[in-house]
Structure formats: C-alpha cells, structure tokens
Amino acid sequence: MDTKSPAFTAPVRASVERVTIPILVAISVSHLLNDLIQSLLPAIYPILKANFHLDFGQIGLLTLTFQLTASLLQPLVGIYTDKKPQPFSLVVGMGFTLVGLLTLSRAGSYPLLLLGAALVGMGSSVFHPESSRVARMASGGQHGLAQSVFQVGGNAGSALGPLLAAFIVVPFGQASIAWFSAVALLAMVILFNVGRWYQAKLVDLKAKPRAATTVSTLSRKRVAVSITILMLLVFSKNFYTASISSYFTFYLISKFQISVQAAQIHLFVFLGAVAAGTVIGGPIGDRIGRRYVIWISILGVLPFTLLLPYASLFWTTVLSVVIGLVLASAFSAILVYATELVPGRVGMIAGLFFGLSFGMGGLGAAVLGELADLTSIETVYKVVSFLPAIGLLTYFLPKIEKARA
C-alpha cells in the first residue's frame, strides 16, 4: 500500500486534528491542577516555619523529601510503562496526591509534614511519565508544541499555588489546605476520561501494522555523553529554580522588609513568567531546532542572574520575570531533544528528566537551606547566580536536526 497517497493520509490527518486539541487541553489542565497542589508546599513554608519553629535546614528537608519520592520513582515508572502502558495509573497517582494534601492539612508534627510531602511526591512520580506519553501521542508530530502545552499547564499551576496560598492558606491557616482536595478530585475526573482515550488509542495502535522503529544515527557513547550533558543542564536550571521557589519569599522579606503576602505575590509573578517561557520554548524548538533554544535559555540567562543579588526591589521583580521567562523555555526543548536521542523510550526519558528535575530541586533546596543557615539568605543568591554558566556545555551537543536532514 502506498502510505503517502492522499487516500491514505487524509483520514489520519482528520483523526489527529479531531483528537489532539481536547486531549492536549485535558492533560495540560490536569498538569495545572497537579502542580498547583504541589506548589502549595513551598508557598506555605513561612507558615510552617512559624507554627513548627523550623529552621532553614528543616525547610530544605521538607522539599528534599517531596522531591526525592518523585525523582527516584519517576524513571522506574517510566521504564515500566514503556513496556506496559497503564492508562488509569494517572488517576491512581492523583489519589496519592489527594491523601498527601489531607495529611499536610492535619499534620501536628514535623514527621507528619514529611509524610504528607512524600505522598505528594509519589503522586507526581506516577503522573509525569504517563502524562508526557499522552501528550506525545496526541501531538500529531508537533512534539515540541505538545510538550510546551503540557508543560505550561504545570507551570501555570505552580504560579497559581503561591497566589492561592497568599489569599486562602495565610488567612485561614494550615487546615485550609484540605480545601484543595476538591482540586485533586476534579483532576481525577479529567484524568479518568484521558485514561479512557489513552486505552482506546492503545487498542487502535495494536490493531494497526507496526511502523518501523526510528533508530538513532549516533553511537551509544555519543548518546550517553549527550544525555549526561542534558542532565547537567537540567541540574543548572533546577538548582537555580529551587533557590527561587523555596527561598525567594524569605529573601524578599529579609532584604526589603515586605509582608508575607506581598512576597508570595512576587513569587507568583516569577512563576507566571516561567509559565509564559514554557509556551515559547517548544514551538520555537520545532522551527529552529532544540539545540539553539537550549543555548539561549540556559546560557542567555546568566547576565540577569548575576545582577539579581544587587538589584533594588523594583529591579529584582523585573529581573526575576526575565529569568523565569528565558530559563523556562529550556525544559521542553531538552525533553524533546532527549526523546529524539533515544527513540521509543518516551516514558523512560520523561521519568528520568522529570525525576532529575525534582531531585535537583530537592537537593538544591536542602543544600541552599543549610547555606542560608550558615551564612545568609542573600549569600545564597550570590552563589547560585553563576549556575547558568553550565550552559556552555550545550556546545558539545550533536546537531541531530542536521544529521537527520
């Protein structure tokens, strides 16, 4: 059969156009709700610090617990689901997040706070690898665009979390975290319907003749080196981002003597810029190549991170927006670039890089918390300002777009 004839391709195109938009929107909204819940934890750190008399090291350990349960499990979930896709595992993962939320709302001791953080992390470990696969399946071949749509939901949720915490959790206290269980339940309903589409899609794919598997033209050694470089770039991005998501409110309160609510609004502005940057990265990568986007987003942010520790409140806000906008465009490009390096391993790559993101964020929070206790919160931002220089390693990534052409 001539698979390039109009008679063959027309129905396929129609099917893709019919299915892509609702599924991409559904999985992006689910990502928004998932990450909104997750972002409540760092947003309420000032409240927990006061209620439980925590130091910065204990704050960092909370983030580390959440991030490690997510980062260590995600690659394992991805490897398993590459072999045996689990359409309704997304609902189960959100169930873990729901239980974690309720635990955090009722916790009366530090160990229970750690348990709640761990449960939310477990929910994330199930959600991200499978939802990335769904986004790719619904992409219609525009993988960068699909990954950006998926990512922007998560970043929008991360931005909304601190804002909702400022106007709900701060006035009404720790117990009000339980109110967000309605968000988790809504996400479970959406994900159940996504799971039904995913299950039907798997049946449809099994019924069709198997397409030839794309094979990388690069040697195993070159692929391994490239994946290592990408992991170092993710380390740079997420270690720096951890300094903002976990400690930016403390930095603003300490340096500029603003209120907790005002500081959380500043954090919302930064995370909003991150969401906007995520939208940009994927489609641009589809057009000009992921490697160029990675260059610009990691290394290009260096001058702004170097200026941030010495800026006034106004310029701190401006710089944080620029940093969030530029730095966020990297992740979609890195993730799609990595899946092109290792074809057919979407779950494993998504789990590895999402897991690494969470792990580096958690490690960064713990290390930077200890550094803040030993020195000052201002010193933290002077130290991390040099991290984007790791972006120079992008030079050693292969130009896979040219290789394919």
DSSP E strand stretches across 212-327: none
Q: Are 163 and 385 in contact (CB under 8 A)?
A: no
pLDDT of residue 46: 79
CA distances for 385 relative to 94, 305, 317, 379, angstroms = 35, 5, 16, 10
Token pair of 11 as six digits = 């129905």
Nearest partner of 338 among 73, 111, 144, judged by Cα: 144
Q: How many CA atoms lie within 13 A of 184 on its CB side?
A: 24
Q: Are 293 and 184 in contact (CB under 8 A)?
A: no
Neighbours of 228 (CB within 10 A): 12
Q: What percent of the chain has pLDDT over 90?
A: 20
Neighbours of 84 (CB within 10 A): 7
pLDDT in tens, 384-400: 999 999 989 988 988 87
Q: 398: Cβ–Cβ under 8 A, 6 or more apart, which residues?
A: 218, 222, 226
pLDDT of residue 307: 96
pLDDT of residue 209: 58
Q: Are 304 and 326 in contact (CB under 8 A)?
A: yes
pLDDT of residue 302: 93
Helix (H, G, I), strand (E, B) or coil at 135: helix
With a cut of 50, which residues of the chain have pLDDT below it?
A: 1-19, 212, 402-405
Whole-angstrom Cα distance, residue 309 to residue 247?
13
Question: Domains in the chain, start-ordered, CATH in brackets?
Answer: 13-404 (1.20.1250.20)
Whole-angstrom Cα distance, residue 309 to residue 311?
6
Nearest partner of 94 among 120, 76, 71, 116, judged by Cα: 120
Whole-angstrom Cα distance, residue 363 to residue 16?
40
The owner of tokens 């409110």 is 249
pLDDT in tens, 212-247: 455 557 788 888 899 889 988 888 888 888 788 778
